[in-house]
Chain A
Amino acid sequence: MHSKPIRLWLSGALLAASVSLAAAQGGRQPFQQPDERQPEIYFPQAPRPGEWRKSLGLIFTTTPPELTEEVRVSVPAVDFNLQKGLSKKLFLTGRLQTQFVQSNLGLGLRWATPLSDRLFLSVGDDMTGWFGALLIKDVFNSQAYGLQNFPNLSLGYRLNRDLQLTVRGEGILDMYYRSKVGTLAVVDNKWQVNGFAVSFVLEQPFYGNQHVSLGFRAAYSNFNWQFWSLYDTFDRNLFYPQVIFGFIL
């Protein structure tokens, strides 16, 4: 059994290992100017002012055994990212994830700066709203929606001219939740810490000029919007592993 402090320590150690790896290679000759850009979505570097960048892909999230017991459900969500540079270091982020019966729209602001020619940092905050509705004869007459906030910190490292690694840590805050079955509804509008997540994403070329994001996200949280219809009642951080794949357009 791992206690929470041990897991937090481990997360920190992983982050530190990534930074150390970056720092260890940081003494090499610069191979690229810091303000040069590869096609990227996760990498903590702002688009040039006025420039748009976008990606389209899929996210696979696996259900924790506490919720679906012997069954493992991994329904893909379509994942669309849109970003716009506001200044040299500041940019807007937008993200839509959808499984059609449930969707999540996020808007955020991020500030990014190079720490060296290889190492980059960003801090930001994303606000997301999610909505789900299920109407299935004799099974569901349910809807739910909510608001969550994700303060985040990303470290990016250019491993070589084509390959970029991003490590992102996020806090997950619940701000609002409303659930309705038939004519009954419950609301929870207390702000509370829901959990945290750590992502590791590689961005690289993929056949010719196409670039992709490929990574995973480990979320430890009480609630995950994709599984609102499972009506999780646990006040425990459950593990939601996610695999991320997206084409940078």
Chain B
Amino acid sequence: MRVIPYVLISFLFLVFLGCRKQYEAPVPYEFANAPGAGRFTAPVRQSIEGVYGVTDGAAQFGEQVALKWSYVLDGADTTHFLSIFTGVDVCFFNLEVEPQADILALTGYWRKLVNTETGRTRLAVRVKRNGQLQRYSGGLTAGDTLVLDGVYGNRTAEPTQKLTFTYRRPLNQKPFSILAHRSGGRTSDLLSVSENSIEIIRLASRLGATGIEIDVRYTKDGVPILYHDNSLNLRLIQKNGLDGAIEKYTYQQLQTFVRLINGERIPTLEEALETILTNTTLNFVWLDTKYIGPMDKVQALQQKFRQRAILARRDLRIVIGLPTQGAVDAYNALPDKENTPILCELDTAITRSLNARIWAPRWTLGPQTEEVLAMKSENRTVFVWTLDEPKFIEQFITEGRFDGILSNYSPVVAYYHYIGQ
């Protein structure tokens, strides 16, 4: 008889364990990804970028937003996207042009990264001239104000709620690196594409990133690939019966049997760098050293793509991150290490001893203003990682002296940087 309470409580415990909620945030809009920009010519796109006040929709998206264009290259085709960064709940909009519309029209979706809120949106670009909203096709005159107005909705529902953005001022042009963690963001933030995938690299600019950090490991047969965790697990990959360290598997085995959580293949470092170079405008790549052992294969790829970037006249810096003493030792064992750009995550003394041009301390150490200024006076770049708390992001941007922030929430870093005056 005494056993019943224990059985009951164990049963209840199991029931509760089984009730871990699985959150989802599917993208409610299917992009046509049509190449070109339609009526959004280069001068029109340039005129649209800026900081806007939110008239309708402020309760949902905050009082102001930052609008920024990005594009993806596919051979000779260029596909343009407008991103809108808000200061509320790490919310961003991703919009594509409507080439068939006879006005400047944009359509897409919005998403709040801290939760699962999302919805569709449609906007038109118009100009307020002499107090009247008019069709805009480029060519602003004194006194004109750009207005983006339209509707937004929740989830897949037809958008019906009014949304109006009114131009206030240009974006902050001060150089600042917005670095997206794990190529764009964490899988746990329920993005439509998996962390450390080719697909998220192509998305990163639309999330506000100017550069990305990627996690490099080796397969059993020595192929550098992108993967964060120590082991194959259901956080990152679809169920397939495989587990254990990723280094136990050959590249071919991973290609054949493993798919990332959103269905993508695990990319090689070479495929990732090829995508960054040829398909994106990203200008910084931080190769995070997640492996133990020789660094020569990573160095070779770094040098190969640096040369290709120079030949293509692409502004692209590829650096090897050194997060541990083991990584420092691997770097010190390299031939031609002087010509291998590195980023040191350890203290200032080690950074100086390695002559690393970039120092990247943890954000949990605070602004470290004295050390940051000292490193900058030695012509070093200083980034901070991995900072996701929106209120601290705001403070690090407004009060810190850093050259960039590595974050899973590049949209909020973009917001606080671009609205700066």
Q: State yes or no: do A and B come from one complex.
A: yes
A-side residues, CB < 8 A to B, are 1-2, 4, 7, 10, 14, 21, 64-66, 69-70, 134, 137-142, 159-160, 163, 165, 179, 181-184, 186, 188, 198, 200, 202, 215-216, 218, 220, 229, 231, 233-237, 239, 241
Alpha-carbon gap, A182 to B384, bound state (A): 13
Contact between chains at A139 and B362 (CB < 8 Å)? yes
Residue in B5, B116, B399 whose CB lies within 8 Å of A159:
B5
Interface centre among B116, B230, B366, B399 (most CB of A within 10 A): B366
Segment at the A interface, from B7-15, B141-149, B329-337: B7-15
Query: B47 interface residue, CB < 8 Å from A?
Result: no
Query: B361 interface residue, CB < 8 Å from A?
Result: yes
Query: B347 interface residue, CB < 8 Å from A?
Result: yes
Residue in A138, A200, A233 whose CB lies within 8 Å of B388:
A233
Segment at the A interface, from B17-25, B97-105, B125-133, B205-213: B17-25
Alpha-carbon gap, A183 to B363, bound state (A): 12
Contact between chains at A236 and B363 (CB < 8 Å)? no
Contact between chains at B364 and A239 (CB < 8 Å)? no
Residue in A69, A233, A241 whose CB lies within 8 Å of B235:
A69
The smallest beta-carbon distance between B369 and chain A, in angstroms, is 8
Query: B367 interface residue, CB < 8 Å from A?
Result: yes
Contact between chains at B391 and A140 (CB < 8 Å)? no
Alpha-carbon gap, A179 to B363, bound state (A): 13
Alpha-carbon gap, A100 to B399, bound state (A): 32
Over the window 341-354 of chain B, the binary record of Cβ atoms lying under 8 Å from chain A Cβ atoms (1 yes, 0 no) is 00000110000000
Query: B389 interface residue, CB < 8 Å from A?
Result: yes
Contact between chains at A233 and B390 (CB < 8 Å)? yes
Contact between chains at B16 and A182 (CB < 8 Å)? no
Contacts of A229 in B (CB 8 A): 364
Contact between chains at A184 and B367 (CB < 8 Å)? yes
The smallest beta-carbon distance between A224 and chain B, in angstroms, is 14
Query: Do A235 and B89 form a contact, CB below 8 Å, given A69-B229, A181-B364?
Result: yes
Alpha-carbon gap, A65 to B229, bound state (A): 12
Interface size on B, residues (CB 8 A): 51
Query: B188 interface residue, CB < 8 Å from A?
Result: yes
Residue of A whose beta carbon sits closest to that of B228: A69
Over the window 85-111 of chain B, the binary record of Cβ atoms lying under 8 Å from chain A Cβ atoms (1 yes, 0 no) is 000011000000000000000000000
Task: Please list the 3 inter-chain residue pairs (A to B) with the smallest Cβ-Cβ separation, ordered nearest first.
Answer: A182-B366, A186-B391, A218-B16
Contacts of B230 in A (CB 8 A): 70
Contacts of B396 in A (CB 8 A): 184
Contact between chains at A235 and B115 (CB < 8 Å)? yes
Alpha-carbon gap, A141 to B19, bound state (A): 36
Query: B231 interface residue, CB < 8 Å from A?
Result: yes
The smallest beta-carbon distance between A119 and chain B, in angstroms, is 15
Query: Do A2 and B19 form a contact, CB below 8 Å, given A142-B364, A202-B9, A235-B114?
Result: yes
Contact between chains at B391 and A65 (CB < 8 Å)? no
Residue of B whose beta carbon sits closest to that of A134: B364
Query: B2 interface residue, CB < 8 Å from A?
Result: yes
The smallest beta-carbon distance between B323 and chain A, in angstroms, is 11
Contact between chains at A66 and B16 (CB < 8 Å)? no
Query: Do A10 and B19 form a contact, CB below 8 Å, given A181-B392, A184-B367, A186-B392?
Result: yes
User: Apart from A10-B15, A218-B16, what are 8 other A-B pairs with CB-CB below 8 Å?
Assistant: A2-B19, A65-B188, A70-B231, A140-B365, A165-B9, A183-B367, A184-B367, A233-B390
Residue in A65, A165, A184, A241 whose CB lies within 8 Å of B16:
A241
Contact between chains at A138 and B5 (CB < 8 Å)? no
Residue in A139, A165, A184, A235 whose CB lies within 8 Å of B5:
A165
Alpha-carbon gap, A65 to B389, bound state (A): 18
The smallest beta-carbon distance between B17 and chain A, in angstroms, is 6
Contact between chains at A2 and B9 (CB < 8 Å)? no
Residue of B whose beta carbon sits closest to that of A142: B364
Alpha-carbon gap, A21 to B9, bound state (A): 13
Residue in B5, B6, B365 whose CB lies within 8 Å of A181:
B365
Residue of B whose beta carbon sits closest to that of A182: B366
Query: Do A183 and B21 form a contact, CB below 8 Å, given A66-B188, A233-B409, A234-B114?
Result: no
Residue of B whose beta carbon sits closest to that of A139: B362
Residue of B whose beta carbon sits closest to that of A4: B21
Contact between chains at A239 and B235 (CB < 8 Å)? no
Contact between chains at B19 and A138 (CB < 8 Å)? no
Residue of A whose beta carbon sits closest to that of B392: A186
Contacts of B347 in A (CB 8 A): 137-138
Query: Do A138 and B365 form a contact, CB below 8 Å, given A231-B388, A239-B20?
Result: yes
Query: B33 interface residue, CB < 8 Å from A?
Result: no
Residue of A whose beta carbon sits closest to that of B4: A159
Contact between chains at A182 and B365 (CB < 8 Å)? yes
The smallest beta-carbon distance between A70 and chain B, in angstroms, is 4
18 pairs of residues in contact across A and B, judged by CB atoms under 8 Å: A1-B22, A2-B19, A2-B21, A65-B235, A138-B346, A138-B365, A139-B364, A139-B365, A179-B389, A181-B364, A181-B366, A182-B365, A182-B366, A184-B366, A233-B114, A233-B409, A236-B115, A241-B17
